[in-house]
Amino acid sequence: MRVVFRVDASLQMGTGHVMRCLTLAQVLKENGANVEFICRRHKGSLIDKIRSNGFIVYELGLFEETEVDTGLAHSHWLGVTQQQDADDCIDIFKAKKVDWLIVDHYALDEQWQKRLKPYYEKLMVIDDLADRKHQCDILLDQTFGRQQEDYSALTSKDCQLLLGSQYALLRPEFATWRPYSLERRSKPEFRRLLVNMGGVDVDNVTENILDELKLCNLPNDIDITVVMGGSAPHLESVKSKAITLPYKTEVKVDVDNMAEIMANSDIAIGAAGATTWERCCLGLPTIQFVIAKNQLFSAETLAQHNIVKLAKEIKETAYLLESSSEWMKSVGSIALEICDGMGSYKVFNKMTDYKIILERFGEVDLCNYVNLNENDKMLALNMRNHPQVKKWMYSQDNISKKDHFEFVKNLEDDMDRCYFLVKQKANIIGSVNFANIRSNKPAIFGFYANPFEQILGAGRILELASLHFIFRELNLNKLTLEVFSDNKQVVNLHKKFGFKIVGERDKNSKKVFCMEKNQRIGDESSY
């Protein structure tokens, strides 16, 4: 799967757009995708950082004098017209069609998307503003409090809307540090203060906050940590200011352990940008400042729900810090509830429909359960509960609609399991499922054909699609399964495609064959 991100960073835009795209890119890469970036080299572009993470970056040039669109609030961020930007991208896309194009840019809308449509299979837009029209398959807005109606007039009815902080694109380490951070918050204290106003802080808010901290009545033994990006224009001035504080103050630059720093902090002073969700995930009580207009909606909504303390002026900092014992525990516990750190995996699972070309059977669609409409979810349930299918399951109980829908919902953030409804044109072939696909254990799979239709070659289609997914899409080299020994038709089908019986066990007083297939790299002849 080829995935291309169109995203920029600059002193004006900040670094948040690129950083959240990098997070999703790493998840995609870890799961077998070929990921590339297209970026324009603005000052503060982060192109070198993207490359240092192992990704190819196609650079777009800058022009000193150029016409820009004026129809969008952030048109000037692009540096060229949408038409010019689209033409520049087309030159890159001509070499190979893109499976997923992911766009995170306030200066691009449906005009640009229409122009690129012949060159990508599917499009995801990452947005926070809800201020322009899009023609996309998925729209992601991780803003807390965002509603479906905010985008109803801006997207098509077929667009899948992923809205809210549960989809926040956080690096895996935030979920890893979450239990530790939660334990620390059970007995709140104020000894470590974190100041982080974004990677760039072009307006030098950080230095103004440090000036205010000089006047605060803080604990004598407090440790203050300031985190900034290497491209921040006022970095040296902030370092000089930090030395003058009456409290122990350290300025850290381009850190790679932000989750650890946040987890070990007691209170944060931060900008209302992408790091908001990192702090929420760790339950870090926060005094928040709005440093860009696009942050206002999110910041005010969070403050209204008592998730952060919103400071409208620098001089409010002292009062909020000195009264922190009254609010830090309640704010931190509420923040924990709105973001669990699994958003990147949830988004990835929403993207994982597959279109597979089988040599003998043509085009087959693997439709992820988490993306199914209600009718297709019910069809999957009815197939599973059909006597013809159920008799070969370990559990003979009927599954309720409530339990089934809850099961599908939980698959969103389960990176180790995938369930697909397999379709070919108007036909529903059946269902396939996989486990252990992202662990170090051998992958497991199972399937059942649609019992409501007699489709010629259904079993072979399901088997081939499963092998293609495991060995070609995920690049795994071993697939295992279990099947009742008296299910001879299925046992023989598996044998035909190279599975061998490697063991036996008893289940429900019946013999079960344990089977596996090993796939050598480059050897696709067996299927």
Spatial CB neighbours of 386, under 8 Å, sequence gap ≥ 6: 451, 452
- Digit-by-digit pLDDT tens for the chain (527 residues) are 899 999 999 988 988 999 999 999 999 998 888 999 999 999 999 999 999 999 999 999 887 656 677 789 899 999 999 999 999 999 898 877 799 999 999 999 999 999 999 999 999 999 999 999 999 999 999 999 899 999 999 999 999 999 999 999 999 999 999 999 999 998 889 999 999 998 889 899 999 999 999 989 999 999 999 999 998 999 999 999 999 999 999 999 999 999 999 999 999 999 998 899 999 999 999 999 998 888 888 899 999 999 999 999 999 999 999 999 999 999 999 999 999 999 999 999 999 888 888 988 999 999 999 999 999 999 999 999 999 999 999 998 999 999 999 999 999 888 899 999 999 988 999 999 999 998 888 999 999 999 999 899 999 999 999 999 999 888 889 999 999 999 999 999 999 999 999 999 999 899 999 999 998 544 444 45
- pLDDT value of residue 466: 96
Degrees, nearest 5: CA angle 59-60-64: 130
C-alpha gyration radius of the chain: 26
Cα 35 to the chain's mean position, in Å? 14
Complete domains list, the chain, with CATH: 2-163 (3.40.50.11190), 172-336 (3.40.50.2000), 352-518 (3.40.630.30)
CA distance 336 to 144: 13
pLDDT of residue 521: 43
Measured CA distances, 363 to 151, 336, 426, 455, 493 (Å)? 33, 44, 12, 15, 21
What tokens does 83 get?
């038409």
Predicted pLDDT of residue 91: 87
Residue 191 gets which letter from DSSP? S
- How high is the pLDDT of residue 94? 83
**Residue 329: CB partners within 8 Å, gap ≥ 6?**
185, 188, 285
Sign of CA dihedral 385, 387, 389, 392: positive
